[in-house]
Amino acid sequence: MTTSNSTLEPASRDSASVARGWDRFALCAIAAGAAIRLVWALAFHPAFKYAYSDAGGYLDRATRLAHGGPFERFDTFYPPGVHVLLALPLRIFGTGRTGQWAAAVLWSLLSCVIPILVWSIARRLVGVRAAAIATGLTAASPLFIAYGGFFMSEIPSITALLSAVLFGLRTSEESGRRRLAFGVLTGFLCGACIVMRPQLGLNVLIVGWWMLRKREGRRPLAAAAAAGLLIPIAGIVSLNYAIAGRPVVSENAGVQFLQAHCPVHTAYYGADPKHGYYFMAAPPYVQLDRGRDYVFPDGFPTQQGFQFKEGFRCIRKDGITHVGVVLRNVGDMGLTTVPWPPSDERGLRRFVWPANVVYSLALPLIIVSSVVVMRRKRALGMFASEGILLAHMAPIVILAVLFVGDPRYRLPYDAFGLILASSLIVSWIARAQQHTEASSGSSVEGQAGAPASVVED
């Protein structure tokens, strides 16, 4: 018994030492990534200095919300969760430069949190080594870094989604009152995902399934999570009800559907006498100079019914050839264009474009390889964490099929792809080491057997 313990203890110490080494690597990557993000978003690219187009709209709506109004009918077009979050520092510090600096700090801090969340999720699902590699890839990702310098929805959406996934995993690990408390927090974060980007509701379903998969205590946990979920959703619906006169979270699905299925370059809407007209254009179509202009003189962007009808009319007109349009939209999620708004700046474009191309090219290999690994593990009766990560990535295809394909819409799911890639890297390295050791062992056995053969002779 003593001999057995003395044999196992050094291996345990070595394993713990290796784990600490990888954790130190992850912490260094987090620190370096935070330093880069803070310098980028506060010294070189403060978000309030680049508040135009969508980013300018978020800042404008947040400023008016911080003042308590006035509100406009278009305020319900985009999901309000982002401009509500942006309004918090403006409300506390004022809507002048001080408040805008505070908002820029908030966005950069949210960006700094992303590698931490990736590390915590990956550590639970794919192990210490893969988690450290995923953290390093996330911390160094030009895409994640660049968007910290814009008041866009990407950074808060990524943070909310990863937080919801992490606390969903934590909830499944807890018991008793702590489990219910974590359930409320997870529900709240899931609600935050929906009010920032409603399409993340698909990921919310996955979080809920994982959290409630055990029958024990399922009902009280579901009630706790539902209570947390309703807090942000009820607040946003109430805000929009006061503006639109009806309960809505956002009203931009019609525009997205129209642009995805009709040859739209720019859609013009002219029903607002105050502003003259609104125009909507999807960045991939603008960059590729695709489609033609659509003019709706009596329409308004939030009026979704006629836009869905026009989209379905285009689908019927194309017939079977519309499959090509859908496949093109899926391709637009990847490397056909440079993610916007970084694409507007020459220096930033050179920084972001290669990263998007490399990830987009690697993504099919990552997915196929992960599916193979998952099936192999399940055949051996092992837990396959790849299934959870792949499930969280599946909405990419659904979004591209139904709505506009755009690399920035893919961005919230990229963290799961990086975790899968890191897990595959660790597996490939382990296999290479085993192959090398096996070859070395065969060579040693042959050398050791030779003298014996000579002696026998």
Query: What confidence tens digit (pLDDT) does each residue in 23-72 have?
Result: 999 999 999 999 999 999 999 999 999 999 999 999 999 999 999 989 99
Give the mean pLDDT of 113-138. Answer: 97
Indicate the pLDDT class of residue 301, thresholds 50, 70 and 90. Answer: very high
Task: Give me the residue spans of the domains in the chain.
Answer: 16-252+333-433
pLDDT of residue 442: 56
pLDDT at position 4 over 60: no
Tokens linked to 46: 């403060």
The confidence band for 271, taking pLDDT boundaries of 50, 70 and 90, is low
CB 138 within 8 A of CB 113: no
Section 98-121 average pLDDT: 98
Amino acid identity, position 436 = T
Looking at the chain, how many residues does it have?
457
pLDDT band at 113 (very low <50, low <70, confident <90, very high): very high
Is 80 exceeded by the pLDDT of residue 270? yes
Q: What pTM was computed for the model?
A: 0.91
- Return mean pLDDT, the chain: 90
Q: Are 100 and 125 in contact (CB under 8 A)?
A: no
How far apart, in whole angstroms, are the C-alpha atoms of residue 264 and residue 66?
Answer: 35
Indicate if the pLDDT at residue 8 is higher than 60. Answer: no
pLDDT at 457 over 50: no
3-state secondary structure of 296: strand
In tens, the pLDDT along 391-410 reads 999 999 999 899 988 999 99
Kindly tell me if the per-residue pLDDT of 5 is higher than 80.
no
Residue 283 scores a pLDDT above 60: yes
Quick check: 291 and 285 in contact, CB under 8 A?
Answer: yes
Round to whole Å and give the CA distance between 163 and 168. 8
CA distance 381 to 403: 38
pLDDT at 175: 85
Query: Do 83 and 153 touch, CB atoms closer than 8 A?
Result: no
pLDDT of residue 99: 97
Would you call 45 helix, strand, or coil by DSSP? coil
Give the closest residue to 267 by CA, choosing from 282, 252, 251. 282
| 12 — pLDDT class (breaks 50, 70, 90) | very low
Strands of 292-296's sheet in order across: 278-280, 264-269, 292-296
Of 25-39, 200-214, 290-304, 365-379, where does the model show the most confidence? 25-39
Burial of 229 (0-12, 13-18, 19+ CB in 10 A): buried
Percent of the chain exceeding pLDDT 70 equals: 92
Residue 123 CA to chain centroid, in angstroms? 18
Q: Could you read off the pLDDT of 343-373 as tens digits, one per residue?
A: 999 999 999 999 999 999 999 999 999 999 9
What does the DSSP assignment read for 187-251? HHHHHHHHHH-GGGHHHHHHHHHHHT-SSTTHHHHHHHHHHHHHHHHHHHHHHHHHHHSS--S--
DSSP state of 302: T
Distance separating the N- and C-terminal Cα atoms of the chain: 42
pLDDT (mean) for 326-348:
93
**Cα–Cα separations (whole angstroms), residue 344 to 28, 157, 286, 350:** 32, 22, 12, 11
pLDDT interval class at 275 (50, 70, 90): low
Contact criterion met (CB below 8 Å) for 204 and 193: yes
